[in-house]
Structure 1
Amino acid sequence: MAYTCFKCKQLIPGPPKNLITHLRNVHAYTNGPGFQYICCQEGCQRTFHQVWSFIRHLSNVHPYNVNDVVPADNVDNDAGLDLPDHINDDVEMNDVPPPVPERNLDDDELKRLAMDFVCQLKQMNCLSLSAMNRIIQCSSQMFGDIITHLKATTMRTLNHLNVDMNHDEIVSLQSDFDRLSTPFAGLETDLTQKQFLEDSGMYIAPVSVPLGVKFVPTVDPKTGDLHQTQKTATAQYISVKSTLKLVVEQPGVIEMMMNYRTQNDGVLRDFHDGEYYRRHRLLNNEDVITIPLLLYFDECETVNPLGSKRTVHKCGFFYYTLKNIEPKLSCSNANCFLMAVSKTSDISEYGYAAVLAPAIADLKELETTGFHIDTDVFTGTVKAVVAQVTGDNLGLNSLFGFTESFRANYSCRICKVHRDDMISQVEDKPDLYRTREMYEADLAQHDVTLTGIKSPCALNDLSEFHVTSNFVVDIMHDLLEGVCSLEVKLILNGLIQSNVLTIDELNAQIKSFNYGFCDSHNKPTTNTITELSLRNPDGASGQSASQMWCLVRYLPLMIGHMVDENNEYWQLLIVLLKCMDIIFSPTVTLGEKFYLKELIRDHHNYFLALFPHRHLKPKHHFMVHYPMVIRKIGPLVHFWTMRFEGKHNFFKRIAHVTCNFKNIPKTMALRHQTDLSCRLYAHSVLKPKVLEIGTGSSHILATLDNAELIATSFANMPLYGELYLANWIEMQGTNYRPGMTLIIGRSDNDLFLFGLIVNILVDDNQDAKFYLRRWKTIGFDEHFHAYEVEEGPDVSILNCDDLLDSIYF
């Protein structure tokens, strides 16, 4: 049996290892990020990211038949050795691949292969540095023992065959054995590994930023006495300029930035479509490439938040992403870069200005002079500016110098509305927006009770940024962990008190509801939904943000059949869901923006009328600014903190594994930069995810239903051609499989059109299409807040790249 190479379509006889050797030697394939292996044996189009998974698939699904005989016509014996005649006799040999260009394993290539292995280890945040070094040492010893044994066996065999042991080729062979027996020479320690990455230009070392001097109690290891020792408090900073230069010079990145443009069709899709970008002096200047940066700040507990060391090792993290690339790339945790990290206690003591001092200097230079890049498609200067800063409300108010108490007189950072007016405000008041002039005047008063401003913001030193032009709101904390948590409790408690349903019926509906593939991991927990918790709506909901989002969206389908259409509590829930439909949408039209303003006003009025003993919370107030914010910076979902908080998991895992808290900010920064350098070394930063194809089976096109329609969609493929029917595919992190329902368009009366995935078709070129049975949209049911559909007779073929939205049901 011969295996087909998916790159050059050449037949490679022998077991799977011969195909892997061919891919490595001819096509420079390695087991690293960015490399995808495609089966293409017997019509199979399964894809893999790990070489051992690929080999296992070939061995189990397309096994090599050892009885297949391949003539040894292509065996190359040009070594020039004087072998006995019987060694050159014509024989039938198995497992002989066709000749491939010889791979030159010189010292540099050997070190590169060893570094690939090291990088794979360093990207695993479940390993400590000592564990990595132990693995490298054991692997080096194992390789040495194996190569030494092979050398001895080979030399003994050649000597037995009376080969001249002083022949130049034999001497060279012995030298190769000795050299290959120590593949990790020069890479044995973390220091030498970092030095290799630095020499390759891919490692950016964090810089310690001195903040101040303090005295800490230390124990003398000899006497056990306690002494007060002077210690310099430091933060860690990673150069934004150096990071951006390396990232932008990665293959394909600058082309992606240059090709990402706005669409003037009245639809807001991203930051580029907002007024802020269009009116920005540098961002909207086509004569210079300017990267808009989205900064993020949040505090993260690196140890058990309920343990005795809570708050002791709490750190403040500053991240940033690039906003001139597609949102599906910028939202990835792997493409979120660390700018600075410091202990929270040091930030409180020394202030943000001290922590961010080197960052401010770097950002000023990026605004004015930028940095020079030299790529195949562009050579010149690239600039960068801080476009917006995101974070939770407490974090942003702290960073910007506003009051951190949301019971204060003026707690809103967007407008200057008094607390007495905020608790009943139902619509936006533009005349109260904070402006630069108002900010400077308020700052000069030095009275937080009259202004809401405690101190100046260090970021205001930048010429292209000011806190009054930062419009970001955090819909995750405002809604999913704020308004939704409060109102769902009030609504459910109202329904229970009205004898519409009982708590047991509610929990039974939540447990038995079919959440489908998309929300199977976000099922709400019923452990915290009790009569006692519902009577305390101001307490924590006990649900994560994703669980709350799932609960709110599916609640009408869970209990809607038990509630009367005119129920006043139910009407509040429906209005809230209408608001969330627009707020969480990845695209927003101008008409929807104006409609959202009316919905938020109606929602707030309804809430105050339904619960007259309550007032609007600060997070209710932030909602009234949403339509204006959408107009300024685009859809809100592209700025929420959900993805940034996912980045914290990397550092929490590192803290748990290393258990090194002597200088926790430095530990975090070093491990993050090592991981980033490994990804830069593998050219996997800002690289779009390729289509991943799962298990399936190959079929002749003529045997499929509507074969002619399918053939037309695949550029008139002949009916005797083969198609692969995949059980699942994954695009940009979203998994699709038959049985799911997709949004495929809009009708003339602006209703969504849906299609049920019957099959997922893949051809030999990895072109994937959905074979859909179209649902007939009857209408939208307000009471259940869902579309009513019925199965129709029509089928259609949809290219995977033409999906209107990645949402599925």
Structure 2
Amino acid sequence: MKLFGILFSAPQIFYLFLLLYIAGIELNPGPFPCKSCAAVPETISCNIRHQHLHSVSRNFLYHCPAPSCIFSTKSFNFMNKHVSMFHSETSHIDPEATNTIGCVCESGGIPCAYSTTSFWELVQHLCTHLDSDVEVGCPILGCEYPNSFRKKSTFRVHLSQYHPNWRDEGCPKQHLRRNQENLNGGYLGPNCDEAMDTEDGGANISPDSNQNMFDDAAVIDCIAKFYLQLYGLHTLPFETIQDICNGIICMTEVIHAKMNQVLTEELEKLNIPQDQINLIRYKVMQADLLYASHHKDNSPGPYLSSDYYRREYFMKYFGFCSPKEMHLDEDDHDNHLRQEIIPITPTLLRLFQDPVICKDIDDSFLKQADPSNDIVSDYTEGLQFISENHPSKEIHIFVYQDTVNAVMNALGSAKNKHKLLTMYFTVGNLKSHRRAKVESKHLMMIMRESVFKEVKAPKSLEEVMKELKSLETEGILYKGENVSVAVVFIQGDNLGQHLIGGFIESFSTKFFCRFCEILRAHFKANPTSTSRLRTKADYTRCALRAMVMEKPIKGIKAGCEFNDLKYFHATTHLAPCLAHDLFEGVVSWDLAGIISNLIRDKWFSRKWLNKKIKAFKCVGADSPNKPAFVEKKGLKLGGHAVQNWTLLRLLPFILGDKIADVEHSSWKLYLQLKEITESFTPPSFYKSDMPYAQDVLLPAYFERRAEVLDIEKYPLNPKHHFLYAHYAFLMCLLGPLIHLWTLPYEQRHKFFKHLLRLSQNFINPEHSCAYRYLLHVTYMSSDGPTFQEECVEVSSKQMTPDLYSAKLANIVSSSFQEPGWRDCTSVCFDGLQYKKEDVLLLSENQGNILTGTVKVIAVKDNVLSFICELNEATFDSSLGIHTMPEPSGNLKCISFNELRYPVPHPIYFFRGRLSFSLKHKLLRSN
């Protein structure tokens, strides 16, 4: 008997099965249940074909159904390739099949004794006879093809064209062997390559024995999800969706009329009584669930032909809930003063069902910050959080507020008429890279900004504060345990932070800083001057005086509602935003001034620079944020925050040989600005480095700035003060500021802008946005977990040392001794894409950077490792970039969990060498 591609004798087979039985190992374990529904396909191949039905879902991954194999991929073809490579012996076998099918071939007059329960295995066996020049016939019962076959190619063509479902697994009753008399000598007829003639009523068509793995409820679920996708993902207007629905109703009615006509005619030819014909027609029509779900009289189940019925279905089966509308004034007869609330508690309970989120939360419960540790990697290691003595088990919340203009490019009186104030939250217990994703941002309140200002913060935030206080004192149920919920930070731009914090919403007033009490006149006279930091006692005293005197006191016009929470206070928990302060503020103004100076000194023209920017090809992570053109006026850069950051980093590569004098004062100022941004943007930093940034880097920069830039054309702004006076302290107080910037939240605004632009309905935009947002969330959560941790491979092969050069083979042999490791061309892991020859940044050593060029990507059981070629890139202080040396040949195996900076860094070819420009400073080598 042939097993696993090896020929065994009968005694060997007996002992092999005995050993497998003793070890508790099944030869063909099955059946193979679907991970996405309740279907239970019988074989691996049937399971994969069934998974293809689910592939319309967002971010769907094919999972290998073979036991102990956790391979997954987004590609149906690649999953088939994987099964062919690693599970070919068992992919078409139904372990529960009992009916056998035997081979009827003869060799030398001796009948073949082979039999199996798998039709696929029988075909493979018949191919071995063809290799031995033995003729075979079609083994499918009822096939009227008269000739036998001499070649595998013609045999397979016949099966594929005449019996497209020949791979049906197991041994169905209709797949019995053919009689010996049907085996005639001959050749494959000339019509083999033509499509089958169906005039004979389909007698030669092999019946499709594939079981329908979707029951009626699952089919209706797919139809409802289609509508949910139109509502929540494509944000089509309600009228458009109803037009689509009406079109489906019309088309199904026409199709059913034709089907009824054909059925009646054909059944009457068979002399079937009319009452039975009517019954057959009724059952056939009811089997069409697309028709039934859109015609109430014929629908045995849910009905989806109106917005009301669809919404009811979404609420019952997908967990959709409508937003809560709050009226803020009982005397408001026009119903103008209102807001939409999305309760936090149901959102948190839904998030707690996500295994990836739960894993991050559990890990955060075990994390203990060490105040003596010099490295700060997250907010929990900041001085403020440590001083507050939070319990180890606590759900942390970051609140974000901002305004979004519903009308694009509105002018005059319409400019702020429909401006919406939105409030989101993020679970702070998530790992920092997951907090940075837009999927982690959840809407909690939306209302018109004009209404917020009219009814004031206490009334506007009453419902939100009520729930936050309840969560803080009573907690929320997490894994059977009551856990408290605490607001850790409020995030936003400066204007929004002043609005929430009770500060004056103007930065041209006497007191413009929410962190200290510096006077604007003192700042103008001496930009490097500082003042006393605001304290809780001072804030409370000023807020009370402002309320009594009805005028601002030291820049404070009212108290902050969030101060009533246990840990929060407006003087310490209103986080700054790097994107607004640094990249859209300091970098935008100062780099524009530096470029203007270089243009003035004839290094290049503005036209030439914009032409080079247009032609420059960004790579890797820089590609989505190619620098914008420099504006003609030259007062500021023309891009958004990350575009400005990219231009700052890549300016040496763009200018190339136009860098005429590296000792030029403006170029020196550029290098200082670049170093400052690298100091304040790392995801991890040393607390001991902050005094150097505060006492050396910043004073030196502002001193040179005063000499280089025209103070009249490029004046200092409050954002310069935030950078100089507070950023170094805030880094130590709050943790890495890059984790607290607001850009991921602002990605959420795109959804609302797109929605309102499509609907063109501004009667009640806050309700439209909240309602469609919840439909969007319902659709996204209906497809499984929010975050995917699976390792998605592309073009993998079994890892064996003989595939590599001698050096690589040695490290492969020593590092991957266990079987099952696969070598991938590229892989997507935890949302990050890796491919061979990517460069990873490992650590810093006296200005030089240790890099690892990926040579091998190894994956096993959702564990990712790399074999990297180590090189030390040298720092060119005159250009602010790092240059990579010739390949060293020094190889090292590095697991994904060892990477401090897991994102591959963009590499550029500059002056004949591979070079790169840092985004931030790196931690030093141990």
User: Is the TM-score greater than 0.5?
Assistant: yes
Residue deviations 1:681-715 (CA, integer Å, cap 9, x gap): 33333x23544445688998634435524643772
Written as runs of structure 1 = structure 2, the 5 A alignment for 1:266-281 is 266-281=374-389
Structure 1 residues 249 and 506: CA distance shift in structure 2, 3 A: closer
- What do residues 116-139 of structure 1 show as CA deviations (whole Å, max 9, x unaligned)? 333333332342223333334444
Match for 1:35: what amino acid?
A: F
TM-score by length of 1: 0.80
* Partner Cα separation in structure 2 for residue 211 and residue 426 of structure 1: 44
Once the two structures are superposed, residues 534-571 of structure 1 have per-residue CA deviations (whole angstroms, 9 ceiling, x without a partner) of: 2xx2xx43222121111111123433752423322222
Q: Deviation at 1:187?
A: 2.6
Shift of the 53–338 alpha-carbon distance from structure 1 to 2, 3 Å rule, reads farther
1:499-578 to 2 correspondence within 5 Å?
Answer: 499-526=602-629, 528-530=630-632, 533-534=633-634, 537=635, 540-559=636-655, 561=657, 562-578=659-675
* Preserved CA contact (<8 Å) 1:71 1:92: no
Match of 1:605 in 2: 703
Q: 2:239 aligns with which of 115, 130, 134?
A: 130
Flag the structure with larger Rg. Answer: 2
Q: How does 1:300-315 map to 2 (within 5 A)?
A: 300-306=404-410, 309-315=414-420
Are residues 66 and 675 of structure 1, via their aligned partners in 2, closer, same or farther at CA, if it must alter by over 3 Å? farther
CA shift at 1:314, angstroms?
Answer: 1.5
2:306 — aligned with what? 189
Aligned partner of 1:285 in structure 2 is 391
The alpha-carbon deviation at position 152 of structure 1 amounts to: 7.8
**Closer, same or farther: CA 457–146 of 1 in aligned 2, 3 Å:** same
CA–CA separation in structure 2 for the residues paired with 1:336 and 1:8 = 42
Runs of 5+ in structure 2 lacking a partner? 1-27, 34-40, 89-152, 175-202, 295-301, 907-926
Question: C-alpha offsets along residues 63-121 of structure 1, whole Å, 9 cap, x if unaligned?
Answer: 9967457487835459xxxxxxxxxxxx9987967x76x74725x44443333333333
Superposed CA RMSD in Å reads 4.3
Higher relative contact order (CA 8 A, sep 6+): 1
Q: Distance in 1 between matches of 2:460 and 2:158?
A: 65
What CA deviation, in whole Å up to 9, does each residue of 1:417-438 have, x standing for no partner? Answer: 1112233666685x71111110
Greater mean deviation of Cα atoms: 583-592 or 448-457: 448-457
2:583 equivalent to 1:485: no
1:485 deviates by 1.3
SS in 2 for 1:524: coil
Which residue of 215, 219, 242 maps to 1:105? 215
The answer to whether the 8 Å contact 1:402/1:413 transfers is yes
The answer to whether the Cα contact below 8 Å between 1:587 and 1:635 also exists between their aligned partners in 2 is: yes
**In 1, Cα distance between equivalents of 2:167 and 2:623:** 54
Code of the aligned partner of 2:643: Q
The one of 429, 446, 450 aligned to 1:324: 429
Alpha-carbon distance in 2 for matches of 1:8, 1:435: 67
- Change in 2 beyond 3 A, CA 1:722/1:518: same
Whether the 8 Å contact between 1:151 and 1:177 is mirrored in structure 2 is no
3-state DSSP of counterpart to 1:351 = helix
Q: Deviations over 1:327-377 (max 9, x none)?
A: 22222212211111111222222222222211111111111112334xxxx
Give 1:401 shift: 1.5
Partner of 2:107: none
Q: What is residue 259 of structure 1 aligned with on the other side?
A: 363
1:391-790 pair list within 5 angstroms: 391-423=492-524, 432-446=532-546, 450-526=553-629, 528-530=630-632, 533-534=633-634, 537=635, 540-559=636-655, 561=657, 562-598=659-695, 599-611=697-709, 613=711, 616-623=716-723, 624-685=725-786, 687-694=787-794, 702-706=802-806, 708-709=809-810, 711-712=812-813, 715-716=816-817, 725-726=824-825, 728-747=826-845, 749=846, 751-758=848-855, 761=857, 769-777=865-873, 779-790=874-885
CA distance in 1, matches of 2:553, 2:167: 91
Distance, in Å, in 2 between the alignment partners of 1:162 and 1:22 is 41
Q: Is residue 476–residue 483 contact of structure 2 (8 Å, CA) maintained in 1?
A: yes
Deviation string 1:289-321 (CA, Å, 9 cap, x unpaired) is 322111111111122224574322211111111
Q: Is the 8 A contact 1:423 1:621 kept in 2?
A: no
From the superposition, tell whether residues 645 and 27 of structure 1 become closer, same or farther in structure 2 (CA, over 3 Å).
closer
Residue of 9, 19, 22 corresponding to 2:47? 22
Distance 1:96 1:697 in 2: 34
Task: Tell me if structure 2 keeps the 8 A contact 1:471–1:633.
Answer: no
Structure 1 residues 620 and 144: CA distance shift in structure 2, 3 A: same
- Residues 562-591 of structure 1 show CA distances to partners (whole Å, capped at 9, x for unaligned) of 242332222221121111112111111222
The residue type paired with residue 182 of structure 1 is A
Counterpart of 2:349 in structure 1 is: 245
Tell me, yes or no, if the aligned pair for 2:44 and 2:65 is still in contact at 8 Å.
Answer: no
Structure 2 equivalent of residue 382 of structure 1: 483
Tell me the secondary structure at the aligned position of residue 487 of structure 2.
strand
Counterparts of 1:753 and 1:110, CA distance in 2: 55
The residue number in structure 2 matching 1:4 is: none
The answer to whether structure 1 residue 363 and structure 2 residue 468 are counterparts is yes
Identity of aligned residues (%): 21
Q: TM-score, normalised by structure 2?
A: 0.71
CA shift in 2, pair 1:301/1:731, >3 Å: farther
Task: For residues 662-696 of structure 1, give each alpha carbon's deviation from its aligned partner in whole angstroms, at most 9, with x where no partner exists.
Answer: 101110000001111233333333x2354444568
Q: Say if 1:235 and 1:341, in contact at 8 Å, map to a contact too.
A: yes
Aligned pair 1:803/2:899, yes or no? yes
In structure 1, the gaps of 5 or more residues are 1-6, 79-90, 216-228
How many angstroms does 1:657 deviate by? 1.2
What amino acid is aligned across from residue 511 of structure 2 in structure 1? Y
Determine the C-alpha separation between the residues in 1 that align with 2:64 and 2:169.
Answer: 27
Contact 1:34/1:683, CA 8 A, preserved across alignment? no
Q: 1:162 to 1:383 in 2, by over 3 A?
A: farther
